[in-house]
Amino acid sequence: MNAILIVIIVLNIIVSFKGFEDIAFFRKYEFHIGSIRAGEQIRMISSAFLHADIGHLAFNMLTLYFFAPVVYSYLGDFSFGLIYLGSLVFGSLLTLYFHANDYSYRAIGASGAVTGILYSAILLRPDMDLYLFFIPIPIPAYIFGIGYLLYSIYGMKAKRDNIGHTAHFGGAIGGYLITLVKEPHLFTDNLGMVILLAIPIVLLFVLAKLGKL
């Protein structure tokens, strides 16, 4: 397995389990608008290594594990790390933008960074299929990616947990843009997928503009 991927997964596991056992640690490093606006910008990074529970952690790390090899095999280790970190930052910035005046808003999870890797991998390998354990037939990866973001819109509207649903979109935007900047030939080689993957991102901003979120 790729060394950078191992480091990322290990860091997520260590920090998340520390947060499971130590609520003070969890509260100190989670994404919290009030604290960030008071100067604790470290939360915009640290929150992406905390998770709500083992299921949340496992889902993010398994998704990363399956899609990361596509990214680093096509783009190399440096670009893989850049897309992961860049998507993480994009996710936090978009969350801050959408919730800037909600001082009590809290969120955690690597979902933004992972969604960036997911989107990058789909752009690079649009023909990929996934085999989900509860569905006995292959599912096109782009269907999974788009469905993941549509579910995130539901999560943003429902507001039933502190998972960083808004960060999913920021991460997707980060992975999408960084990959296209590094591989501009995708606009000609795979324009249909480039447009298709943009649809849920555009939908998010349309719903926000209409006040539906």
**Measured distance CA(10)–CA(24) in Å, rounded:** 21
Q: Which residues of the chain have pLDDT under 70?
A: 132-135, 159-164
Q: Is 105 left (phi over 0), alpha (psi -120 to 50) or beta?
A: beta
What is the predicted pLDDT for the residue at 71?
97
Tokens 């249909």 correspond to what residue?
A: 192
pLDDT given for residue 160 in this prediction: 67
Q: What is the pLDDT of residue 151?
A: 83
Digit-coded pLDDT (tens) for 136-178: 778 888 888 888 888 888 877 776 665 667 888 899 999 999 9
Helix (H) / strand (E) element for 31: namely strand 31-32
Collapsed DSSP state (helix, strand, coil) of residue 130: strand
**Which pLDDT value is given to residue 155?**
76
Mean pLDDT of the chain: 90
pLDDT at position 127: 86
Q: Which pLDDT belongs to residue 166?
A: 83
**DSSP 8-class letter at 51:** -
Residue 135 has what pLDDT?
A: 65
β-partners of residue 107 are 31
For residue 41, what are its two tokens? 């910008």
